[in-house]
Structure 1
């Protein structure tokens, strides 16, 4: 619960001014404002548990703050909203760009909330409740509490006294800010300090300076004023109730990072990339280049790392430059200066979440395996823990098969280094593709609870031959299984696919058992569950309910009458539920042209019958080639509607699976 006062474009030279009184659950704790840096530097207080924040700004002038939205009982979340705020503060410079990222992320399993996002040009109130609504904000003053009411929001579960206290605080705050002095920033800040400590008619749950809440307390008050000249910005923080404590000025934090971060932003600005996902958001990655013709792929990898949200810095050997990639190209690709030699700044001791050698030559890998540190790349690798090192070999096949090199590579593998195996083609061990390398990088950095867990995915159609020419099948491509397998791999799962005759090709690093009939799919599933360590089975396959009773060995002549008798096929999901009760089941229920209510009812019946953890309900008329509308239902009875690309649906399914595993 919180009270946020937001003043937008009301003060000359200070487009954003805000006061945030935070009310937290008893037992929680927080830390005063600090600096977080990635692409930009951010200034914000810190929640001690999640390490996220609830209010902050960065040296590009971007502001974000959040309050709860207490409208519908307990809420579960797979990730802290505070970490999401930190992702935005350390990676975005403009509210308009951050808005779309925030709207996309909030579709995942974050708790409800009110989010204020602003810079000097644009401001938005983004409300997440039963759905997400974005309200553009004009010049003015605003009070945001822990309840925002809209006509589409269900209010039946809001306690009456909570509404009363919230309304009291909001009314009191609006009354007080109407009297704030807007002549000077110092006068405005002093007035906000008084508002922060205000009790109104009664000191208690209804006062802005919050007291005596059942299970809650006032943890802090923060005042932020963002100036057009960022160095003139201000941040004040008071721990506890302002009526009993004092505000401390933390504005000095800006002077600690301003020059370096502004230079970095200028450099990065010339190499802007469009964000695709946040899978590497907040991750600091070193990309090391060595002497190979495969270095031509390195700028592409750098750009893709940044598209996934990573901060990237490049280290180059002299030989890598001779093979045709200019340091200026890598500076453009990464948005950062390139390290070409070691200096007194001790670049080799810089701490990275992951150090990538792409491409990695025989010479460099043998040096790393033997602890030789004679250039920027090998020295950085020598100072990096093996588990934080990823290498992608690229060389002639004779060198790759050299026994001395194989011993070095095996040594690196045993020490915990991740090796992205090359493609063997045309007498060469060619560097792994960008797609494969990115998948391995995301996998290395995954903190998912699915990491290390076995997941078996059934996907694609099943098929029976009627005669040598014709067959009976169902409409399915295997695309959703493809994206589920990719997503599970990236999260660190031990994933395997049982694949009917679909139309997609799976990456070589994801093992696949190809099957044809329902019986083959059942037998392959049973065999894998008996011999492998699989905890989760995802039934995304389109499994035939009927098969021809007999097969005609010769082609049935056209024009002749032909009656095909059908018989039932085994129910694979029921068999697995019966004999492997420890396995978590994710089922799919497909109907055709039915109402939403009937679709969900059928899915719930299926869930009950096989004791599924999750069921994905979909209607064939709402499934397109790469887009998918579905309803995700879990054991709690919650129903999440999804409409988007199949890759995003795969993320939603695994997010919900993680949430249910956490709740067990």
Structure 2
């Protein structure tokens, strides 16, 4: 936000969101997956903060709330907790907070700190660098961008001290949104009203760059499946899940709402990813089909067992005197084929882990299963593929191919998401 000086009074020049109108707001995809720490200071405009929480969450933001003591005189923490779905933080030295996230962790958590309303008193304390409550402490501690939505009586906004504080905060890279002009609770008319929640949400979205997959829903399968023979034995494979987890992380980084359906692994869940744990191929199939509503992109990177034992022994199978043992196997459901046949169909990506004729087999899989892309890799090569942190792949589209040289799975995942996003956005 910029200010112009008219007769010694700063006049707000509020940037408008591209395509934003109050009567027909556009989807704010750049808010998807973003962590917004909403600070609320004391003022009658605090009642608007409840609606602001809803608007931010409607566009995919995760919102946590910090309130000053004065703010609690205007709206209750319980109301905002119910709306945000998260505990509301009110005290600097709250034993529960310090035992959990802690105020420093809360400062690190945020992608952006939005203080709405920002009272004249709070702006003065922020300008002075005070840290005498939780909100002012977070302001000093956070590495995130800070945005203020001033709200106060028109006389307080026009006062030279408030104007000086506003200029000083802007010089320190704090963004001010508003205030707007109009009638106020006290009966005065003039600048000082907090912007409306819809407009604040749109202007907050402008603070972020839209990711490649902003506003998209991505479902990814990863890891192996285990097909039980008896209560202690199973059929499985060598998949570590590392490629699928890297893809989930890259998709979330690109702004997508990301669901990771994972077979048994020892990997930590990527940040901002919803993880569904499954064991068998049937469980993975069920979880996948249940997650398809609204799905824009499906990536089948899991190494799903093609077959499972026809009968599951209820007790551990004991050794016999015979040298051989026969287990009858039956086919598992083909997850990626089922997704490709679903309506509406998401952009469907399969993996082909091969040991010979890699591209030929991948193209056959692409055509047979009616996929949009197959990512093929040669698992016979030492140092890449299963259980490795590195990989090299060939992308096989219906009319094109591209080879990505060996790289870390983390970087390779980013490269893959960039190429896939170009096809679906």
TM-score range, shorter chain: 0.5 to 0.7
Alpha-carbon distance, 1:384 to partner: 3.6
Counterpart for residue 201 of structure 2: 416
1:629 to 374, 392, 409: 392
Q: CA deviation at 1:659?
A: 2.3
Which residue is 1:535 aligned to? 296
What residue is the counterpart of 1:525 in the other structure? 288
CA RMSD of aligned residues (A): 4.3
**Counterpart Cα distance in 2 of 1:476 and 1:377:** 57
Deviations 1:295-319 (A, max 9, x none): 76699899xxxxxxxxxxx988321
Match of 1:613 in 2: 372
Deviation track 1:139-164 (CA, whole Å, cap 9, x = no partner) reads xxxxxxxxxxxxxxxxxxxxxxxxxx
Q: How far is the alpha carbon of 1:444 from its aligned partner?
A: 7.2
Match of residue 317 from structure 2: 556
Superposed displacement of residue 569, structure 1: 1.3
Alignment of 1:398-437 (within 5 A): 415-416=200-201
Following superposition, the deviation at residue 612 of structure 1 comes to 2.2
Q: Unpaired runs of 5+ in structure 1? A: 1-289, 303-313, 335-353, 358-366, 387-410, 420-440
How do residues 255-270 of structure 1 correspond to structure 2 at under 5 angstroms? none
Change (3 A) 1:463 1:315: farther
What TM-score does the superposition give when structure 1 sets the normalisation length?
0.36
- Unaligned 5+ runs, structure 2: 1-90, 111-125, 180-195
8 A contact 1:460–1:502 mirrored in 2: yes
Compared CA separation, residues 317 and 555, structure 1 to 2 (3 A): same
Are the counterparts in 2 of residues 368 and 378 from structure 1 also a CA contact under 8 Å? no
Q: Which residue of 1 aligns with 2:234?
A: 471
Correspondence for 1:491: 254
Distance 1:318 1:651 in 2: 41
- Structure 1 residue 533, shift from structure 2 partner: 0.7
- Does residue 545 of the first structure (1) align with residue 319 of the second (2)? no
Structure 1 position 584 matched with structure 2 position 343: no
CA deviations on 1:215-269 (whole Å, 9 max, x unpaired) are: xxxxxxxxxxxxxxxxxxxxxxxxxxxxxxxxxxxxxxxxxxxxxxxxxxxxxxx
Alpha-carbon distance change, 465 to 585 in structure 1, aligned in 2, over 3 angstroms: same
What residue in structure 1 maps to residue 210 of structure 2? Answer: 447
1:385 shift after superposition: 7.6
- Asked if the contact 2:177/2:200 (under 8 Å) is kept, the reply is no
Q: How does 1:168-179 map to 2 (within 5 A)?
A: none
Distance in 2 separating the partners of 1:552 and 1:300: 51
Offset of residue 505 of structure 1: 2.5
Q: Is the contact between residue 317 and residue 377 of structure 1 (CA under 8 Å) also seen in structure 2?
A: no
Partner of 1:363: none
Could you tell me how far 1:414 is from its partner in structure 2? 9.7
Whether the 8 Å contact between 1:444 and 1:492 is mirrored in structure 2 is no
Deviations 1:318-368 (A, max 9, x none): 217999x9x9x99xx99xxxxxxxxxxxxxxxxxxx7248xxxxxxxxx96
Contact 1:631 1:639 in 2 (8 A): yes
Instruction: Find the counterpart in structure 2 of residue 460 from structure 1.
Output: 223
**Which one scores higher on RCO, CA 8 angstroms, separation ≥ 6?**
2
Query: How far apart, in 2, do the equivalents of 1:638 and 1:647 lie?
Result: 21
With over 3 angstroms needed to count, the CA separation of the structure-2 counterparts of 1:521 and 1:299, relative to structure 1, is closer
TM-score, L = length of structure 2: 0.55
Equivalent residue pairs, number: 278
Aligned: 1:383 with 2:383: no
Q: 1:318 aligns with which of 125, 130, 147?
A: 130
Secondary structure of the corresponding residue to residue 489 of structure 1: helix
Deviation at 1:620, TM superposition (A): 2.0
Q: CA deviation at 1:498?
A: 1.6
Residue of structure 1 in register with 2:36 after alignment: none
Change in Cα spacing, 1:634 to 1:383, as seen in structure 2 (3 Å) is same
Cα separation, partners in 2 of 1:298 and 1:556, compared to 1, 3 Å: closer
* Equivalent residue, structure 2, for 1:600: 359
